[in-house]
Structure 1
């Protein structure tokens, strides 16, 4: 089915894509969660640079057979950037494919700065982030009226330090729905900081390789989060969702309540 759909879309794609760098979010891993725009760009681009340690090979099925595929997991920015600049200056279109959404932990800031400095046109195309895919898989809403109305996306300090004002324990004090990225290697420290403000029985979803064929999700109490992480030998590609919304929830939005009036549903 996908082969037919891909061919149909490819026939309609813009084969004369503007020579530029397209920084594209690949989503969490499932090729079906690519945006339509991302698919069109992949099918039209001359060159694809992708983070092969974080983006599944199957996503390349959308690419042209004659496209140049460049794996970047073993490359530095100093190797990647000149390649993108040279290809665009040679009148080729380049897709720089990142996992998830480019606005989160994707190191695109320095790429955009240097591309602009080199007078290379670029565009950013958003993708679905892992926290959104996790909520969908768990069949939960992370903002439940009367329970929680804030989502915090963060990480614990590691080789990349977080600013002191964003220290995990201070964010945990809000007791919001907290989505913890890039923290599996420091899970004991993360658990200890979270327990300063969340109850030990607060539900935690441990989400490993969301959208990949070997995806796994466990929902455990917060005080068991580190144990499960070690038992399953999780050291990367793991998202933690800590939220009261994962428990037994009773709540209702005012939006569709019969007593709630608004512009499109006036009283009477």
Structure 2
């Protein structure tokens, strides 16, 4: 996004900062950040190295101690003064980003906005594990969810119900409740104590840590590692592929599989 394109964009841009590594912000997101006059960022989660990209004179506000009303007030005042605003969220703003309430508040004020997506933690964790989340004949479904804690989960989305599918599950905001996570996953009836599980702490950050095990021992391993926040949990049979190999190969590159870009022969 060039400076001129930014001038023609809505005055507020919600930007996904990526999971931690400052180089994992998108090019478009970085250019928006570099052109911003005011940035409101999630200080407890966004890598502070990204703030070095701000242009001279730009003002940054850490949203960690702020209420929704205070965040909206900062953005609306900036827009009224003709400034460009970036609301910088960790990962991708659409996943546990609490942006819907902010967008509704901006709608009420008649302030236009757009969203620039980012790399979410589940994909950074998979990269750290060097693991594909979808494998033929193993799992073709990836579920992004969380276990119920202080924030309730709809009854139909209780973890044990989701676990009944036996798909690849990526759990956010749940590592502090590992024993409950394991209990709920096993209650679904598809996973067993031998189902592989992995926990990636601070995925893509320089201090990233990975703990691997099974549902039988992952809670104890995570406790021993002292991991209690900013971690992504991945559970599913796909994790066995790294040690046992892929039994069924993808048809995409099969010499006998025809598609629009490759005929037989």
1:232 is the counterpart of 2:232: no
The whole-number CA distance in structure 2 between the counterparts of 1:227 and 1:13 is 51
TM-score in terms of structure 1 length: 0.92
User: CA offsets, 1:179-236, max 9 Å, x none?
Assistant: 0000122221111111233121222111111122211112111221211222222221
Confirm or deny: 8 A CA contact 1:148 1:245 kept in the other structure.
yes
Confirm or deny: 8 A CA contact 2:196 2:239 kept in the other structure.
yes
User: Please, what is the CA RMSD of the aligned residues?
Assistant: 1.6
Partner of 1:222: 215
The whole-number CA distance in structure 2 between the counterparts of 1:16 and 1:134 is 32
- Aligned counterparts, 1:118-197, within 5 A: 118-196=109-187, 197=190
- Cα shift at 1:43: 0.6
Partner of 2:44: 53
Structure 2 spans left out of the alignment, 5+ residues: none
1:97 is the counterpart of 2:94: no
**Residue of 19, 22, 47 corresponding to 1:31:** 22
Partner of 1:254: 251
The whole-number CA distance in structure 1 between the counterparts of 2:153 and 2:6 is 42
Which shows bigger deviation, 199-208 or 117-126?
Answer: 199-208
Structure 1 spans left out of the alignment, 5+ residues: 1-8
Partner of 2:199: 206
Partner of 1:243: 236
User: CA offsets, 1:156-188, max 9 Å, x none?
Assistant: 011111100000011111111100000122221
Aligned length: 258
Q: Which runs of 4+ in 1 moved over 6 A?
A: none
Cα 1:217–1:13 change in 2 (3 A) is farther
TM-score in terms of structure 2 length: 0.93
The whole-number CA distance in structure 2 between the counterparts of 1:15 and 1:167 is 44
